[in-house]
Structures are given as structure tokens and as C-alpha cells.
Structure 1
Amino acid sequence: MVDPRFESPVDRSIREAVERGDFDDLPGKGRPLPGAGGTGPVDENWWIRGYLQREGISGDALLPPSVQLRKELDAIDTTVAGFRDERRVREHVAEVNSRVVDHMRHPMGPRVPIRKLDADEVVSRWRHAREQRRTVPAAPEPAPPRRRWWRRGT
């Protein structure tokens, strides 16, 4: 027990609450914290990961801006794959390039190799991917199984 003469106001409040029984009926009393206990190594950020998962937030939001930008540059083809026209693809590439230039002028975070995108290359890959999707025939639906004539009455 802590000597009351050296007890901080916070410690005193907690001790008084324990003596009153304020913590007796809390859910999970006597059980280890989720993610902190168990047989494996303790993950110091288990509660952050749990929060992000519960809220449906990507862990990429916690990355430094330079790494976020690099990941966006690497995934440009999948990002523009859903666009319907070339004008929208070029607008998106121009917007990403403006953020690349801003980052080059005022770098933040770790140094990551970043360069501007060539809009013509991205549009060319986008067109090629669209043509590939158009030429791939859709798989025909399998025919329902035929029933034999002698089992039709059952």
C-alpha cells in the first residue's frame, strides 16, 4: 500500500473509489485485457489496431504522408481501373502529380523515392486493361441438372 502522505490526488481518487466498491461490478473484471494477454508476444498497439478495425478505418491513415503518397502512386492502375473515360483518368493523374510536386517542395516524413506520373503511360495502361476486360468472355452459366423422366413425378 502506498503511504498516504505521498499519494497523488489521482491515486487518492482511485483508492477511494476502490474502497467504495465503484469498480466491483465492471464487465470483464478479473479477465486479461483483450489483445494484451494470451500466449503470444504482447503487441503494444493492440488497442489501436482494434479501434481501427472496429471503425473500419484503414491503417494507411496512420502512415507518414510520403509513404501514403508512394502507396497511392504504386496503386494508380487499380485506382483508375474504375474510371469510365480518359478525361477522368487524366484529371486524377494531374491531381496526384500536384500532390507529388507539393511533397517535393515541402517533404514530410521519411525519404521515399517519389516521382511524377506520366499521364500518357497511365492512360495507355488504362486503355489496355479496359480492352482486356472487354475481350474476356463471360463464363456461361452452367445448365441446371436434368431430371430423368422416371423421376419427374417425385
Structure 2
Amino acid sequence: MERMIREAQERGEFDNLKGAGRPLDLGSGDDPDWWIKQKMRSEGLDFAGGLPAVISLRREAAGFPGALADLRTESSVRAVLADYNDRVRLDRLAARDPKSATIVAPLVDIDAMVERWRELPSQ
């Protein structure tokens, strides 16, 4: 391996690389996943796709009712919330590791959330 690196250096394959002459950004010593997070940011990748479904569902629920503000009709709001509740129910049926903590996403009271949606400034 050392020989291959030395030969590549001699051929100039490491010359003019992005960031040459600057220290490496090794992130925080407290976060073992710093490198993958840095790579995902530099590639413009979405972190949410790598989250367990239950965590994504909890994040989605935390955004209600504000995330519904662009919807113009009550029927569309109800459809989004019903879809969310269906996905929560499916997630609750998924097999779990019995050794790990059980995390559940909350079901949304659709009628109560519609009332909150009606109170949003854009409605």
C-alpha cells in the first residue's frame, strides 16, 4: 500500500487536489458519525431518508398544523392526516427488536387538527 501511495505521489496524482495545503476537517471528537454527516452535507443529501420510520413520523407530527398551511381545502387536510395515521398504524405493526426501546409515533386527532388548521393565519 505504501508503495502505491508513493508511486501515485511521484506521478503527481495528489497535486492540485481540492483543499490542498489546508488542515483536514475531522469534525467533533464527540460524534463518531461526523464523517458521514459531513459527506451527506457536502453531497446535498437529505438526512431524513436515513432515519427509522418511527422517527420520521414523529418529526412529521411535530410539524402539524404548520406543515398543513399550504393546503387550501379541509378535504385535503383530512387526507394528509388520514394518510399519516395509516402510516403510524403500519409502523406499529412492524417487527421490533425486543432488546431495544420501543418508540411509537402518535396518532393525530384529525378533527382537532383540522380545527387548528382553520386557525392558521393563511386560512
* TM-score computed with the length of structure 1 as normaliser: 0.61
Give me the whole-angstrom Cα distance separating, in 2, the residues matched to 1:28 and 1:93: 47
Q: Which residue of 2 aligns with 1:15?
A: 6
RMSD: 2.8
Q: Which residue of 2 aligns with 1:118?
A: 109
Contact conserved, 1:66 with 1:111, CA < 8 A, in 2? Answer: no
Shift of 1:56: 4.2
Contact conserved, 1:93 with 1:117, CA < 8 A, in 2? Answer: yes
Question: Quick one: which of 92, 104, 109 aligns to 1:104?
Answer: 92
Which one-letter code corresponds to 1:77 in the other structure?
P
Give me the whole-angstrom Cα distance separating, in 2, the residues matched to 1:68 and 1:118: 18
Q: Which residue of 2 aligns with 1:31?
A: 22
Alignment of 1:1-150 (within 5 A): 10-33=1-24, 35-36=25-26, 41-42=28-29, 44-107=32-95, 111-130=102-121
Query: Structure 2: where are the runs of 5+ without partners?
Result: none
Contact conserved, 2:66 with 2:120, CA < 8 A, in 1? Answer: no
* TM-score computed with the length of structure 2 as normaliser: 0.73
- Among all aligned residue pairs of Structure 1 and Structure 2, give the percentage whose two residues are the same amino acid: 36
Give me the whole-angstrom Cα distance separating, in 2, the residues matched to 1:65 and 1:36: 30
1:64-99 Cα shifts (integer Å, max 9, x gaps):
211111111121211112211100000001110110
Q: Which has the larger radius of gyration?
A: 1
Give me the whole-angstrom Cα distance separating, in 1, the residues matched to 2:85 and 2:41: 31
Residues paired across the two proteins, number: 119
Residues 127 and 21 of structure 1, relative CA distance in 2, 3 Å threshold: closer
Which one-letter code corresponds to 1:115 in the other structure?
P
1:71-128 Cα shifts (integer Å, max 9, x gaps):
1112121111221110000000111011001101105686323232121111111112
Contact conserved, 1:66 with 1:103, CA < 8 A, in 2? Answer: yes
